[in-house]
A and B are shown apart, each in its own frame.
Chain A
């Protein structure tokens, strides 16, 4: 067993086991931890493909930023001790069946497809990616930055408490009636 196969196998196992944790466990915190584990595995797969920069960006954005934002959302929204109603068996079976069917169908397509061998120079370094981003794909780069700004402002606007709505809803405390 060579080193490449070992790295690929361990990363893939990490990704799949983490995904199973992220989907299957009941506690939402365990789901988030499984999601982070799964994304660490995906970053390992990116490393085996030679794209180091992408692996680091994936770790930073998904595992770092998005994981922490999810924990914040859980803290702000969901009371963790509410009783959970049991899931109905037909729905679980139906979704498992649909996912298995999709997997079978796509796997048949992949098996039948012919992929050309890699012919060009493998250009995956951060220098080449940065050069391409600012020359060939500069429109996409600018659009994604505008999208990120809009998303950030929109997130603040959506999550902000409406001050006009909050004022009458405040319960009259002892300080309100001197």
Chain B
């Protein structure tokens, strides 16, 4: 195992912890936290691969920057949606948000 494998292992564990949280938590904010953990794992993966392997490491920097921007936009939209949902339904527990279930 070289360095790249260690980085990929850490990113994989981070991703799977996020996946577990996304499946298991029921508060919308906790699910958003898990989702952001998964996104951070992905950008760690990209940066590790492009700077420890291949020959163009600036691609990884640009991709990671864009990922961070998308995550920021997603977080802003999601948090404002949570506030609006809380105002309408008085809950942000996903199991209370099942009005569309047949």
Contact = CB atoms under 8 A, between A and B. Distances in A.
Given A16-B10, A119-B54, A78 B27 contact: yes
A38 B14 contact: yes
A103 B19 CA distance: 10
Range of interface residues on B (Cβ < 8 Å): 35 or more
Nearest to B75: A66
B61 A53 contact: yes
A62 B47 contact: no
Contact of A133 (B16, B62, B80): B62
A175 interface: no
A150 to B, nearest CB: 8
Residue from A73, A74, A128 having most chain B Cβ neighbours under 10 A: A73
Nearest to B30: A31
Contact of B9 (A72, A77, A110, A128): A110
Nearest to B39: A62
Interface string A27-49: 01001100100110010011001
B61 A62 contact: no
Given A23-B24, A147-B73, 14 more contacts: A19-B37, A23-B21, A31-B30, A45-B48, A46-B47, A54-B65, A58-B43, A62-B68, A66-B36, A78-B27, A87-B24, A118-B57, A119-B54, A151-B72
Interface of B: 3-10, 12-21, 23-27, 29-30, 32-34, 36-37, 40-41, 43-44, 47-49, 51-62, 64-66, 68-77, 79-87, 92
22 contacts: A16-B10, A16-B17, A22-B17, A22-B33, A23-B34, A32-B33, A42-B41, A42-B44, A58-B40, A61-B71, A72-B79, A73-B29, A77-B29, A115-B4, A128-B61, A129-B61, A132-B61, A133-B62, A144-B69, A154-B77, A155-B77, A161-B87
